[in-house]
Structure formats: structure tokens, C-alpha cells
Amino acid sequence: MTSENDLQTLLQTCADEPIRIPGAIQPHGVLLTLDEASWTVQQVSANAGSLLGIAPQVLAGQNLSSWLGDAPSERLRTRLLNESLDEINPISLHIGDQTVEGVIHRHDDLLFIELEPTQLHAESVGLDLRLTRVLRRLQSAKTLSSLYEISVNEIRALTGYDRVLIYRFQEEGHGQVIAESANPELEAYQGLFFPASDIPEQARELYRLNWLRIIPDAGYVPVPMVPALRPDNGQPLDMAYAVLRSVSPIHCQYMHNMGVRSSMSISLLKDDQLWGLISCGNRQPLRVPHALRAACETIGQVLSMQISALEELHAQRQRQAKAGLLTTLAQAMADADGDVYQGLIEHPEDVSALANASGFAVVIEDQVHRFGDCPTAEQVKALQVWVQQQPAPVVATASLGTVFAPAQAYSRVASGLLAFSLPKPVENAVLWFRSEQKGSVQWSGNPDASKVVVANRLQPRESFEVWKQQVDGTALQWDVGDVHAVTDLRRSALESDLSRQVLREKDAVRARDELVAVVSHDLRSPLTAIVMQCGMMQRLIAADVSPASKRLNSAIDTLQRATARMTRLMEDLLDTSTIEAGRYSISPQALEISQLFEDAWSLLTPLALNKFIDLTFSGEPHLKIMADPERMFQVLSNLVGNAIKFTPKDGLISVTATLEGEFVAVSIVDSGAGIAPDQLPHVFERYWRIREGNPSGTGLGLYISQGIVKAHGGELTASSALGVGSVFRFTVPVASPA
């Protein structure tokens, strides 16, 4: 007996089989890889000499003409230089006394040339006319079932395979036969399921990359590549796009067990994902020529487009049928008081009908509202947490217990789940449920028989007889229209919720602004009174030199500084509020830079002299800016004041103004200690004083200065180097000569 762990290891080994790099091809053709720069063959299949009639001394590494002959090689080179691969494929070449058909592709910096001897096929006569007729029938199909039937019947008639079926992948990875055309003596597969393990994930990826894969004879002996590894990098050759690529021996054994000797698979894609396969099988070896393969590939491509078109048409019809419900629910959410979900709670019948559910639940923070057949409130809450963790905006499953194990406890009422949540910090979700639907599934053989181990190797299953399995924990599949309707509802809920957030934020900003304005107004009078009383007390005790008077005078100084700081804070808060609300107003006028510098020099030079700092102002003569004089002076004095505060004694500070196109650039350069690199990005944030070690400031100066500069249409930036100093630079529009 094989343990479960060992079995899982073998399954993983099978899934990881290097099917892209088998190192060999099927023997009905020849593969050559070419370096286009040097036109030399890098690797060839070992059968190339015999199949192409080449002398045995010709080896890999020689010019392509040594393999194909001068004329075919030159013809191929000319076409590659002047045509796309789509125009070239399939190509016909005359090599020696034989004609070969080939397909060419580029991959991993190599040119892959795959050649097969030309074969005549009765069905190739008049193929273009037949293909046109088939495509016309496919495009006129009004239903998916008729579309499938046309495809399988026509491909079987064209190719001569015993059986042609369409195999669609289901949610869990299993496949179901949804259409079939077969010889009457064969056992029917219509409606049967095949387990996901029949086609491992990496094999599905190759089906997604290639429209067609063919095995003319599953009993073949693989032909190795020579040399075995790429000579340019020493790596195995990646044959992901090679038509002749040798397939897994496990798959060949699978075909043998199924009674199939030859097969062809045509991929069906939807939104660039593997939707299903057209699978062709024959009890005897069968080689389909290139012309027929190309026709079948075209049928597969058109069928893929038609499937998408008809499914989308079906979804649109269902969406239109539910348009009235969606309009009603969207309006209810928009009109609801409080949370948008409240509007859904008030229309339970419409919400349930939207997804054809047996029950639904709405989670709003700590409240769970349940309607119809639902799990308990606690179970719904746990499920809601899981839903919010899923990457998809809408979660849909008909087997909830397989993806969320706790749901197995309530599968009777909720085997199916269709749900969404909104990107809120609070817990929220709308969840639709479908009850368990007891039934059975018919498999093509026991799916557990695919896990047979012989000699410590996983073997393909041997039985494909119909095997019926009782199914528990599943519900009726959610229709594409259900998913579309719930997706549309989520979009409406998101729009309504965002609108409410914007309104709440606007109201909060307005309330804060009003509060700041009221507080500032109410505090301004008492602060002014305090300043006046302090001045009066200082005058009264000016002549008194007693120790008590000195202590009182010191206390008054402290009170005045605190009052001045409170006044500055109120002004800064008012400025901050108007900046954040986008209502910061300025009154620009033509202003001489020299006058602005002179005013700043008069105010700030005493502060600089106290620290023996050399403070200089310089600018181009007659330079004028368009600026609000009071606001621009506030910016300049703030920046120069900061430079003085953080520049050590005997330092240097230079303030310069230069014309730069339509702007004047003002730079304040100091020789201070500099700002740490991790702090520099934060200097214009509110309340940065804590980080910059400036407990005496409000922490709003640079933030306000940036707001003022932006209001003028300019930009304020900062750069710094530790131990060297900092540079604060702002721009402001130049005044026009007029």
C-alpha cells in the first residue's frame, strides 16, 4: 500500500515532469534548430540524416545548406527576411528528390524548423471550399449546442478520426464531454466527466500556448536530439512550441489504456485562458497532413470566438432581464440612511431574485441580517472574514466546502456561495447562498483509479468504464448572468459608498474649519487682553528692583512668550485649514525682489548677528515677481528664520534670486548640520517639528510655506547633506514688463 504522503509526492512528481524539455521528438518528422545570425544548425533530431537523405558525415554545427541543400536553404532565408512567419507557415520545400512540408517558429533566440514528408490525403482535395462552408455554418449557429455539434461532425469528416469530442474544463479542474461525434460501435462519452489529474496543470499550459497538438502513433520510439544539450548555453532545448515534441510516456500509456493509437487536440481559448479542448482519437495510427491540421486549427479558433460571443450574448440577455432589479437596488442604496447596505436590507425579495438564491445575508460591522435559508450568524461572520481575504472582487463557487472547510458543517443550506465585500476598514459583505443539490456524477472510469502506483511510479488508469459517484456538498452552478448581476450591484454599492465618504469628508473639513475659525475668534480677544495687561504690569514694576519684582517680571516675560506662541499657532492653524480646503487666497501684485530682501534683512539680521552668522541677500537687478507681499514675506522669513535657527555660530547663510524663464527662483543656502536622508522627505509635512527637534515651533511653518508657494503657481523644494548644510528653493512667477 502507498501512504497518502507518498501518493501526493508521486502526484507532484508527475505534475512536475519536464514535458517542455523531453530531449526528443516523435519520429514522423525532423527538427532542426538554427542560429539565424550564423545560419548554422545547432541541434538536429537523430533521424534527420535518414529522413532527409543526408550523407552521414554532416553534423550539427554546419551551415543549413549542408542539410537542406543550397537552393532550399537560400529560398527559406529569403522568405524569412521578407515575410512574417504567419505568411510562411506551412512551407513546402524540395530536398533532393522529395518534397517536405514544414512549420517554423522562433523561441529562446533560436529558429525551429520542423519538417515532415509530404503526404497525399483524399480529404485535402477542395479543402478551401469545404473550410469556407464549415466556417460559414459555425458563424450562423444560434445556440452553443448547435455550434458544438457542427464542430465535432465537420472535424471528424475532414480528418477521419474514429471519435471527435469537445471537452470543457469545470471549476474544480475536471473536464466534461459536452459534444461528441463517434463511430457507432464505440462507447459514448457524451456527458461523462474526466478527472483533473488526466491533464496536469503544466500540460494545460502547453495547450494554452499551442492551438494544436498531434500524436500520429502513440506506440512510437522517441528520437533524441543531437547533441543532447544546446551548444550555446549547455541547457536542454525548450520545445514548448514544437509540433513534433515528444510527449510524456505516461500519456502514451494512458492512450493505450483508452484504446486509442492516434490523437489530435485543438485548444479552445476564452480570454486567453484554456476553456476546453477538441479531442480527436483513432484506434489505428493516423497522420493528418499540414493542410488539414491548419483547417482544424482555424475551426478551433473560430469556435473559440463563437463560444465567447454566444456566452457573452447569453450574459447580456440575462443582464438586461435583471436591469430593473439592479436599478431598484442601486436607487435604494443611494437613498438609504446610514450604510449603503441598509438599502438592500429594505428590499429582500429583489436581492434574493437578483441571484436566484435560496437565501442571503448582509453583514454591516457587527450586525448580521439573514433572509431565507442561511447559516447561523456566527457562521456567516466567519465566512465574511474569508470573503474579504479573497483577491477576486466577487467570489463564486458551487462547492463551498471544498474551498472553505468550515462550510462543510452547513452544506445543506449553503453549498453554493456568491458574495462580495467593499474595500472598507470595517467588516462588511453581501452573501447569497444556494442549498445542497443531491445527485450523482458519471465519470469515465473511477477518478481514484488514476492514482495507481506500480514499482513506485504513478500509472495512468486502465478503466474508462462509466462510474457513477454520489455527489455531496454541491449546489446548482451560478449562471454567468448571476455573476454579472452581482458584479453590477457591487459597482453600484461602491459608487454610493464612495459618494457618502466624499460627503462625510467634506462635512468634516467644513466642521473643522468652522471650529478653528470660532476658536481663533473667541481666543483672539482674551489673548490681546493678556498681552495688554502684561505690558501694563511691566510698566508698573519697571522702577522696582526688588527680588520679588524681578521674579514677577520674569513670570510676565514667560506669559508673553506663551501668549505670542498661542497667537502664532492660531494663525498657522487658520492657514493650514484654508490650504487643506483648497481655499487659500492670495492678492498678487508686482513686487521688487530687492524690496522683499531688504524687509527680510531688517527683520532677521539681528537674529543672525546674535550667533555671528554671515547673512547675505543678493539678486539680479530690477527683478520683479507677481506675489502677495505679506504672504511672500511670510515664506521668506520662515525659511531664513529656520536657517538661522539650525545654523551653528559663525556659519554662513546666503539668499539669492535668479531669473529662470517665466519664474524667479529664490534659494536659501545654509552651512548647518543638514537633514538626515530619512527625514528629508518629511520636511513639508504637518507638525514636522517633532522629527526635526524643534519643540519651540508649531511644526506648520514649512507646510504653510509650501501651500503659499503653490498658491502662487510655484514650487518649494529642499535638499540637504549631513555635515554640509541645506538648500531650500522656491519659485514664483516673474512680473511681466507691462
pLDDT tens sequence across 133-142: 888 888 888 8
User: What average pLDDT does range 641-647 have in this prediction?
Assistant: 90
User: What average pLDDT does range 289-313 have in this prediction?
Assistant: 88
Residue type at 636 in one-letter notation = L
DSSP conformation class of 682: G
Rounded Cα distance, 276 and 598, in Å: 80
- Which of 10, 441, 392, 400 minimizes the C-alpha distance to 200? 10
Confidence of residue 410 (pLDDT cuts 50, 70, 90): very high
pLDDT at 98: 86
Q: Are 298 and 128 in contact (CB under 8 A)?
A: no
Residue 413 has pLDDT above 80, yes or no: yes
Residue 108 lies in a domain: no
- Share in percent of the chain as helix, strand, coil (round to 5): 45, 25, 30
Confidence of residue 437 (pLDDT cuts 50, 70, 90): confident
Domain termination residue (choose one: 269, 292, 318) = 318
pLDDT at 375: 94
pLDDT at 557: 67
Residue 129 lies in a domain: yes
Counted domains in the chain? 2
pLDDT at 132: 87
**How many residues make up the chain in this entry?**
738
Residue 293 lies in a domain: yes
Paired strand residues for 540: none
pLDDT at 10: 40
Q: For residue 558, what is its C-alpha cell?
A: 514667560
Which segment of 7-21, 60-74, 165-179, 712-726 scores lowest on mean pLDDT? 7-21
Residue 510 has pLDDT above 70, yes or no: no
User: What average pLDDT does range 344-362 have in this prediction?
Assistant: 92
Q: For residue 397, what is its C-alpha cell?
A: 463557487
Q: Are 616 and 653 in contact (CB under 8 A)?
A: yes
Domain termination residue (choose one: 278, 300, 318) = 318
pTM: 0.60
CATH number, domain containing residue 600? 3.30.565.10
Residue 709 lies in a domain: yes
| φ and ψ at residue 733, rounded to 5 degrees | -60, 140
Residue 690 has pLDDT above 70, yes or no: no
Rounded Cα distance, 168 and 480, in Å: 16
Beta strands per DSSP E along 620-723: 624-627, 652-660, 663-670, 716-721
Rounded Cα distance, 158 and 519, in Å: 88
User: What average pLDDT does range 597-614 have in this prediction?
Assistant: 89
Mean of the per-residue pLDDT values for the chain?
82
User: What average pLDDT does range 645-663 have in this prediction?
Assistant: 92
Residue 164 has pLDDT above 50, yes or no: yes
Rounded Cα distance, 110 and 36, in Å: 7
Residue 138 lies in a domain: yes
pLDDT at 399: 87
Q: For residue 665, what is its C-alpha cell?
A: 527662483
Rounded Cα distance, 32 and 30, in Å: 7
Q: What is the DSSP string of 141-190?
A: --SHHHHHHHHHHHHHHHH--SEEEEEEE-TTS-EEEEEEEE-TTSPP-T
Rounded Cα distance, 542 and 624, in Å: 47
Could you identify the residue written with the cell 528528390? Answer: 97
Confidence of residue 316 (pLDDT cuts 50, 70, 90): confident
Q: Are 335 and 325 in contact (CB under 8 A)?
A: no
Q: Are 300 and 267 in contact (CB under 8 A)?
A: yes
User: What average pLDDT does range 47-53 have in this prediction?
Assistant: 87
pLDDT at 445: 52
Residue type at 432 in one-letter notation = W
Confidence of residue 406 (pLDDT cuts 50, 70, 90): very high
User: What average pLDDT does range 280-297 have in this prediction?
Assistant: 91
Residue 607 lies in a domain: yes
Residue 250 lies in a domain: yes
pLDDT at 453: 44
Rounded Cα distance, 587 and 628, in Å: 5
Strands 663-670 and 652-660: antiparallel
Strands of 439-444's sheet in order across: 212-215, 262-270, 273-282, 163-169, 175-182, 193-194, 439-444, 466-471
Domain termination residue (choose one: 251, 286, 318) = 318
* Better-predicted residue by pLDDT, 536 or 598: 598
Q: For residue 481, what is its C-alpha cell?
A: 448572468
* Better-predicted residue by pLDDT, 529 or 596: 596
Q: Which of 349-353, 693-697, 708-712 has the highest mean pLDDT?
A: 349-353
Confidence of residue 103 (pLDDT cuts 50, 70, 90): very high
pLDDT at 578: 60
- Which of 204, 156, 197, 207 minimizes the C-alpha distance to 180? 156
pLDDT in tens, 453-462: 444 444 554 5
CA angle 696, 699, 701 (to 5 degrees): 105
Domain ranges, residue 282: 121-222+243-318
DSSP conformation class of 504: H
Residue 262 has pLDDT above 80, yes or no: yes
| φ and ψ at residue 586, rounded to 5 degrees | -130, 160
pLDDT at 579: 56
Rounded Cα distance, 217 and 263, in Å: 8
Which segment of 121-135, 223-237, 623-637, 714-728 scores lowest on mean pLDDT? 121-135
Q: For residue 95, what is its C-alpha cell?
A: 530536398
pLDDT at 321: 86
Q: Which of 174-183, 466-475, 556-565 has the highest mean pLDDT?
A: 174-183
* Better-predicted residue by pLDDT, 455 or 122: 122
Q: Are 649 and 720 in contact (CB under 8 A)?
A: no
Beta strands per DSSP E along 531-649: 589-592, 614-619, 624-627
Beta strands per DSSP E along 576-722: 589-592, 614-619, 624-627, 652-660, 663-670, 716-721
Residue 449 has pLDDT above 60, yes or no: no
* Better-predicted residue by pLDDT, 150 or 547: 150
Q: For residue 338, what is its C-alpha cell?
A: 446610514
Residue 537 has pLDDT above 80, yes or no: no
CATH number, domain containing residue 182? 3.30.450.40
Residue 3 lies in a domain: no
Which segment of 7-11, 447-451, 573-577, 635-639 scores lowest on mean pLDDT? 7-11
User: What average pLDDT does range 101-110 have in this prediction?
Assistant: 93
Give the CA-trace dihedral at 560, 561, 566, 567, to 10 degrees.
70
pLDDT at 79: 92
User: What average pLDDT does range 307-323 have in this prediction?
Assistant: 83
pLDDT in tens, 484-503: 899 999 998 888 888 777 66
CB crowding 227-254: b at 16 or more within 10 Å, else e: eeebeeeeeebbbbbbbbbbbbeebbeb
Paired strand residues for 552: none
